[in-house]
Structure 1
Amino acid sequence: RWLAAMDACGVELAGQLAARDPEQPLPWSFIELPVSGKFLRAQLSRAEAGQNVADCADGTCLGCGVDEPDNCRLLSSLPDGTGQGSDEPADTPLAKGILPTVENTDGRDVWRMRYARRGLLRFVGHLDNSRNLEFMLRRSRLPVVHSAGYNARMRLHFSPALPLGVESEAEYLDFELLPVAETAVRRTLEAASKDMAGFGIIELQKLPPGVTRRAMAPAIAACTWSADIPFSLLAAEVDPAEKVEQLRRQRIEQGGFIERRDKKGRPKIVKLADALAQLTVSSDSGHLKLHFDLNLQGPDSERPDRFLGWLLELDGESLARCRIVKVSARLPQAAFVVT
């Protein structure tokens, strides 16, 4: 499908995979990076020559072109006034250069963040979004607790993967911190995420003391979705809202289920009678507004785009013109937080 899409858009595969002239504009040159192109070209030459490429993590500045403390952890930690300094309490392992892990820290706090993914951020996949959040926490320099062992990672729990192309007002992230003032946590995270277009912190709370986390994704049983459907997608002589009502009744009369194949190609029947029964429809400025609930767990779980395509008889190209948003998630706290 990728080859067909590239062919339809007139993109020449061989040209895209060929070696590029570093002196010419690159496909990603429109991204503003604080690192200079001269430094990147020098690093490329060293790598091609098989030379070791240094890492400034050991405290040695490589002169990459970054001159703003906000963009460089090394500059921000200098005590000579060139940076902002560190905000960590002096008695935390992070302030001493020690990575906080479950083995060397006590008194950890569990934080839960509800955040939004809007606009172009809907085209970022789940794994890339997870990495973005991890980078955000690293930029914040908050004392995030890591797992123990050789490959220590941040102890993060994410809400279920969001379908590509779908926005959300109800994404969740659980993370653990050493004790930090509550007001400072939100202020620091908002500063660290200011350049993440489409990202917004909606709610941030510290969970009660003594809780132990369980996996969040399996605990969220269902979500509420909204969809803006342009009238033009519903070719009908009747009112668009009435057209949707007719399709809903028709699907219910047919049994209210989708017949499709799962990821392994096996036939699967998904019952959606409850989603059809709870569906609400309203009209606004040339668009239909649909609200519906879908299960995220069990045999009757379904994606919102697939549900809309089945209900409204829309293909993938038409669905791409619809704005689908996750409005809320059923978040039974007791299901994954144990006192």
Structure 2
Amino acid sequence: MTGICEGRIAIVTGAGRGLGREHALELARQGAKVVVNDLGTSGAGEGASEGPAHDVVEEIRAMGGEAVANGADVADFEDARAMVQQAVDTFGGLDVLVNNAGFLRDRMLVNATEDEWDAVIRVHLKGHFAPLRHAAAYWRDEAKAGRTRQARIINTSSGAGLQGSIAQGTYSAAKAGIAGLTLVAAAELGRYGVTVNALAPAARTRMTEAAFAETMAKPEDGFDAMDPTNVAPLVAWLASEDSGDVTGRVIESEGGKLCVEHGWRHGESIDIGRRWDPADVGDAVRKLIAAGPEPEPVYGT
């Protein structure tokens, strides 16, 4: 199998179903050797099964590619280290980390429980940090040994993390954190040959079917904009050596549309050169708000 990722070695987390599955399959089609990670949980993060990861591995092997299954809990620090080591031991190195694993426990904030908050923040935010941390350490060591790799980290944020989403306060907070983590990792890891970008995908998966059931129905004919396969080409390109000039970006992918998000930026300012009187702050803030663009609406409002 040949393609833009020929000979590259990739880990894809949460790759047993949905977007992760399509990422893993496309990377394999493009010539990458893939560690297919999936804990095999439900859409709410309950239970575990080896089946989903092994099924994807078999699909990749059936098409002539190379893959191995991994059942690590990506938010477990030691499991994440062992997953990176598995790629190195099995295929001889690591070039690409696609952080995709996650699940939902949607609630309005007044109904959210502490356990739900902890579980969602853990799988998304720590589940990005732990694999990223161990992959980055490997690439730093490679660079120090004179073997700098054209390495890629592809994180998974969301429009919920960038614009917010009603009943998804926990998920939105985690995905916003991933966007921030992406910026810092890009700035810190470039010296080791690593680029770090994030996706903001929109597609029909277990995580989105309940929230967007009416708008995500498959069309009777024509282009299915919500098919998760539509996001995979962006992942494959970001995983390739050709993407080396792009880092620290969050890229939205929906159907045939790509959009580079621009996030928080410094807007207008007022500097009076001394300490503000609290009574004067309100007028100043309102002037600054009036001088800037209207914020993006929160999803669901």
TM class, shorter-length = under 0.3
Greater fraction strand: 1
Greater fraction helix: 2
TM-score (norm 1): 0.21
TM-score (norm 2): 0.23
- Greater Rg, structure 1 or structure 2? 1
